[in-house]
């Protein structure tokens, strides 16, 4: 497997590298695809980030992130839609393949999960005309059910695909193995996404046993229990052959290591494990 098959989600090295350093590290490692976060782009400036992307002919497999649609008030929901429109502008400036959407959880003290999902659909519909005008695809990233209350009330690929089918071909999914590996309908859902041509991104890491932090203890590929080759085969059988985007939140391990070391391990694991 070549380094063209790898994209580095810049969260993976966020504690040791900013945007420019991460790009330079990727280029040293022969990796030519990245997926930055909006705060990392803001820290260096959108214009400079776009210049670096263009000067190095980088592929931006996604911009993280838009979303967070549910809110307690109509004004709060409108503020989120406006922020998402700004995120679309940023994704367009970076020529990103998609804007990744982490859709948001229950607003305030609400217990109405179905209502929150309705706000998500309405929010995406409201930003969709701007996304179409800018040529940016929107990738819903379903998150593991442990995040349903606070981060994402869309928790399975099927739930995300229901929204995609309702809104049209510009709305698809980012399949993050950390969030979907457990789903007993995963194979059928990935096949469905393929038939609909809605797979816009594929994120990889591993699920550690034990997991000591629900957000910040992801594993390097091969260190956990996810059958990565099996899921990748499902995704390729469904027609997606884009880079595998490595996204590892690891406060006590990988975030403390030298960035070049992290990239060397990523390349070895993608070649031998994924």
CB-based contacts of 152: which residues, under 8 Å, 6+ apart?
A: 67, 102, 103, 104, 105, 141, 142, 143
The CA-CA-CA angle for residues 139, 124, 74, to 5°, reads: 145
The CA-atom distances, in angstroms, between 158 and each of 26, 27, 81, 166 are: 34, 37, 24, 12
Which ranges of 6-154 does DSSP label H, i.e. alpha helix? Answer: 19-29, 38-44, 46-55, 74-93, 113-134
Domain spanning 3-272, CATH architecture: Alpha-Beta Barrel (3.20)
pLDDT at 2: 54
The SS3 of residue 41 is: helix
What percent of the chain has a predicted confidence (pLDDT) above 70?
A: 99
- Please give the model's pTM, rounded to 2 decimal places: 0.97
**Torsions phi, psi of 38, nearest 5?**
-60, -35
Asked if 81 contacts 127 with a C-beta cutoff of 8 angstroms, the reply is: yes
Q: pLDDT tens digits for 61-105? A: 999 999 999 999 999 999 999 999 999 999 999 999 999 999 999
Residue 149 has pLDDT above 90, yes or no: yes
For the record, the structure tokens of 264 come out as 């060397």
Residue 156 has pLDDT above 70, yes or no: yes
Q: Mean pLDDT across the stretch 125-147?
A: 98
The per-residue pLDDT of the chain, averaged, comes to 97
């Amino acid at each position: 497997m070549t380094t063209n098959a790898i994209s580095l989600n810049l969260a993976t090295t966020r504690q040791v590298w900013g945007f420019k350093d991460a790009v330079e590290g990727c280029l040293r490692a022969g990796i030519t695809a990245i997926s930055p976060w909006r705060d990392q782009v803001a820290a260096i400036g959108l214009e400079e980030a776009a210049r670096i992307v263009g000067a190095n002919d980088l592929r931006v497999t996604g911009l993280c992130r838009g979303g967070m649609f549910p809110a307690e008030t109509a004004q709060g929901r409108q503020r989120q839609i406006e922020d998402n429109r700004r995120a679309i502008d940023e994704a367009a400036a970076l020529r990103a393949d998609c804007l990744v959407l982490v859709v948001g959880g229950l607003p305030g003290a609400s217990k109405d999960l179905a209502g929150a999902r309705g706000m998500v659909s309405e929010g995406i519909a409201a930003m969709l005309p701007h996304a179409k005008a800018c040529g940016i695809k929107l990738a819903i990233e379903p998150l593991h059910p442990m995040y349903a209350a606070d981060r994402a009330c869309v928790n399975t690929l099927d739930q995300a695909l229901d929204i995609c089918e309702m809104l049209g071909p510009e709305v698809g999914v980012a399949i993050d193995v950390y969030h979907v590996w457990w789903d007993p309908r995963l194979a059928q859902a990935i096949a469905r996404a393929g038939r609909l041509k809605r797979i816009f991104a594929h994120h990889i890491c591993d699920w550690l046993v034990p997991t000591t932090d629900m957000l910040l203890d992801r594993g390097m590929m091969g260190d956990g229990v996810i059958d990565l080759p099996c899921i990748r085969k499902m995704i390729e059988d469904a027609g997606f052959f884009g880079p595998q985007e490595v996204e590892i939140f690891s406060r006590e391990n990988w975030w403390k290591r030298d960035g070049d070391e992290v990239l060397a391990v990523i390349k070895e694991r993608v070649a031998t494990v994924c």
